Amino acid sequence: MPVAETQSAKQKFMEFLAQKGLRITSQRQAIIDTVFGTDKHFTADQLLEWSRARDRSVSRATVYRTLPLLTESGLVREMDFGKDYKFYDPNYAEHPNHSHIICQDCEKIVEFESEKISMLEDEISHELGFSVATQKLQITGTCEELKKLGACKNRSC
């Protein structure tokens, strides 16, 4: 994420927390810096690990209390890809209408935007008497790296 977008998103989230009367603790600051310092999708466990690399005192509880605030703020999107855990998209605020392709083997997530999809959404919604507020397209498949090489750098096992 470009530095200007990162600073803007962080500032918006800080203002959101202030409006709710919530403090910015050192743990929460580490989580905020982590979330808005990556363009990768992440799970709660990954966020905990990455945040602890910044501040060893970050607790699991603080991560789990902060994630709903991030999604409530509209700056991060919670995504369900049919796993036992959720993924979080830190690019949502700057690009709310992007889509995802997810590898069911290695969990690689690729974002994309398509003018063709946008045109099709507009056409369908117009025909049905709707206007698009948001869209969410998730395509699940398998990436070619695992098929070709028998291994994938994104696979954790």
Dump pLDDT digits (tens) for 77-136.
898 888 889 999 887 656 667 788 888 777 888 878 888 888 888 899 999 999 877 777
- Which tokens hold the place of 84? 């036992």
- As given in the structure block, the two tokens for residue 15 are 């203002």
pLDDT digits (tens, 9 = 90+) for 5-16: 556 889 999 999
CATH topology of domain 99-149: Dna Ligase; domain 1 (3.30.1490)
The CATH code belonging to domain 3-89 is 1.10.10.10
Supply 76's token pair: 């991060």
Where along the chain do its domains lie? 3-89, 99-149
Q: What angle do CA 44, 145, 39 make, to 5 degrees?
A: 35
Examine the pLDDT at 1 and tell me if it is beyond 60: no
Tens digits of per-residue pLDDT, 31-64? 999 999 998 899 999 999 999 999 999 999 999 9
C-alpha 76/C-alpha 73 separation (Å) is: 7
User: Is pLDDT of 155 > 70?
Assistant: no
